[in-house]
Amino acid sequence: MLRYTLRQLEYFVAVGETGSIAMAAKKVNVSSPSISAAITQLEKEFGLPLFVRRHAQGLSLTQAGRQMMDQARLVLREANSLMDLAGDISGTVRGPMAVGCLLTFAQVVLPTLRRRFEAAFPDVRLRQFELNQVEIFSALRRSDIDIALTYDLDVPSDLTFVPLAKLPPFVIVSETHPLADRPEVSVEDLTGHAMVLLDLPISADYFLSFFERTGTRPIIAERTRDMAVMRSLVANGYGYSIANVRLLNTMSPDGKPLRFIPMTGPVRPLHMGYLMAPGADKSHAVRAFVELGQLLIRSGDLPGVGNSALP
C-alpha cells in the first residue's frame, strides 16, 4: 500500500511548477529540506523518478513525473472539495485558500482585507501572491490561486469578474511640477511634460490608451514596474505618472510630498473586483472572502478606494 500525504503532494506540485526546490519552498512557506525529503519519499513510494536533477538548471519533470503531477493536482482539488463538504455539513468556513492580488494595490488593499478575513475565519489557511494581470490569468487557469483581487482589464471570457468599486484615474506629480496646483488635469494638459510610466502588462496599455483617444503622445522619460519606485521618481522631478488606487500616505518612499490630481476627459475608470474561475464560488472560503470585500467597500473601511462602492 502506498503511503504518502497530501502535504507531500502539495510540495511535489510546487516543485513541478517552479522547477526549483528553493522556489517551491518559498511558494509553500516551508524549508527546502522539507521539500527535498517529501520528493525523496514520494519517489521511493511510487518507485519512479519524478524529476531529472540538473545542477545548473534546477529540476525538470520526467515523463512519469508529468503524468503523476496531473493526477496529484486532481487529488489535491478533490481534497479541497472534501473540506468544502465538511464546511457544508458543519456550517463552518475552513481549509486552504490562495489569493492573488494585482501588484499595483497589493500593498494598499489586500493587507486590511486579509487581516479582517483571518480574524473572522481563523480556520482558513490563506496564502497571498502578488502578480501582474497576465500572471493572474495563468495562475487562475492552473488553479494555483482560488481567487484574485484585480482590475477589469482584458478579462478573458473563461474567467468570472465580480466588480467591487469604480476607480477613476488621477495624475501624480511632485509639489514643484507646473501642474501641481491644478484642481483637475486633462490628457491635453499633459502634452509636453515627461511621464513616468507604470509599465506593467496590460496596465501600461490602459494608461497609454488615454493618449491614443485624444491623438496625443506621451513623453515617456522613465519606466518602472514598481509603484514605490514610480512615486519616488515622480517626487524627484522625473515626470508625472497616472494611477487608479490612491495611497493614504501622500509622501514618496524617500519622504518627498506628492500631489494627486483627478483626470478629466475621455479617460475610462477601472473597476476593482474579484476574478475567479467558473465555479470557484462553490467554496465556502471563497464566498466568504467575496462577501467580506463587498462589506468593507460599502462601509468605506478598505484603504485606497475611498467612497467608490458600486450601487
CATH of domain 6-75: 1.10.10.10
Q: What is the pLDDT of residue 310?
A: 58
> Is-same-fold flag (6-75; 95-166+271-299)?
no
Cell of residue 196, nine digits: 513616468
DSSP track, 109-148: THHHHHHHHHHH-TTEEEEEEEE-HHHHHHHHHTTS-SEE
Q: CA torsion sign, 142 to 147 to 149 to 152?
A: positive
Q: What is the pLDDT of residue 90?
A: 56
CATH of domain 169-268: 3.40.190.10
Cell of residue 25, nine digits: 519552498
Measure the CA–CA gap between 159 and 126, rounded to whole angstroms.
Answer: 21
Domain ranges of the chain: 6-75, 95-166+271-299, 169-268
Measure the CA–CA gap between 265 and 210, rounded to whole angstroms.
Answer: 9
Measure the CA–CA gap between 285 and 287, rounded to whole angstroms.
Answer: 5
Longest dimension (CA), the chain: 74
Measure the CA–CA gap between 113 and 304, rounded to whole angstroms.
Answer: 12
- For the chain, residues with pLDDT lower than 50 are none
Cell of residue 162, nine digits: 465580480
Measure the CA–CA gap between 301 and 304, rounded to whole angstroms.
Answer: 9
Q: Nearest-CA neighbor of 133 among 196, 73, 198? A: 198
Q: Strand, helix or coil at 165?
A: strand
> Against a cut of 0.85, is the pTM above it?
no
In a 13 Å sphere around the CA of 53, the CA atoms on its Cβ side amount to 6
| CATH homologous superfamily, domain 95-166+271-299 | Periplasmic binding protein-like II (3.40.190.10)
R_g of the chain computed on alpha carbons: 23
pLDDT in tens, 189-245: 999 999 999 998 888 999 999 999 888 889 999 999 998 999 999 999 999 999 998
Residue pointed to by grid coordinates 534546477: 58
In a 13 Å sphere around the CA of 273, the CA atoms on its Cβ side amount to 18
The number of beta carbons lying within 10 Å of the beta carbon of residue 231 is: 26
Measure the CA–CA gap between 217 and 215, rounded to whole angstroms.
Answer: 7
Measure the CA–CA gap between 150 and 153, rounded to whole angstroms.
Answer: 8
Q: Nearest-CA neighbor of 105 among 230, 254, 292? A: 230
Residue pointed to by grid coordinates 490608451: 209
